[in-house]
Amino acid sequence: MSTYFSDTNFLLLSRRSLLDRRPQFNSWGLFVRRWRRWNERSRQRAALRNLADNKHLLDDLGLTRLEVLDEADRPFWD
């Protein structure tokens, strides 16, 4: 006589129920975080571009004009 618990179907059902309990991937949250990060990078690089002509601020930062312009010209997703 076979019981339900010794049946292979029970093992498959128990594994499936464990998989169903995993947290679901939230692509909307990932999109929002990525958009915020890209927006912040874009804002920072625009601010750097505005600093490129101010020699005193560049000296305070320890950067050259070329370094600042190279960073400012990078795409926001990079």
In tens digits, the chain (78 residues) has pLDDT values of 555 555 555 555 555 565 566 666 678 888 999 999 999 999 999 999 999 999 999 999 899 999 999 999 999 888
Range of the domain at 37: 29-78
Count of domains forming the chain: 1
Would you say residue 15 lies in a domain?
no
CA–CA dist 17, 20 (Å, integer)? 5
DSSP string, 15-77: HHHHHHTSPPP-HHHHHHHHHHHHHHHHHHHHHHHHHTT-HHHHHHHT--HHHHHHHHTS-TT
Would you say residue 38 lies in a domain?
yes
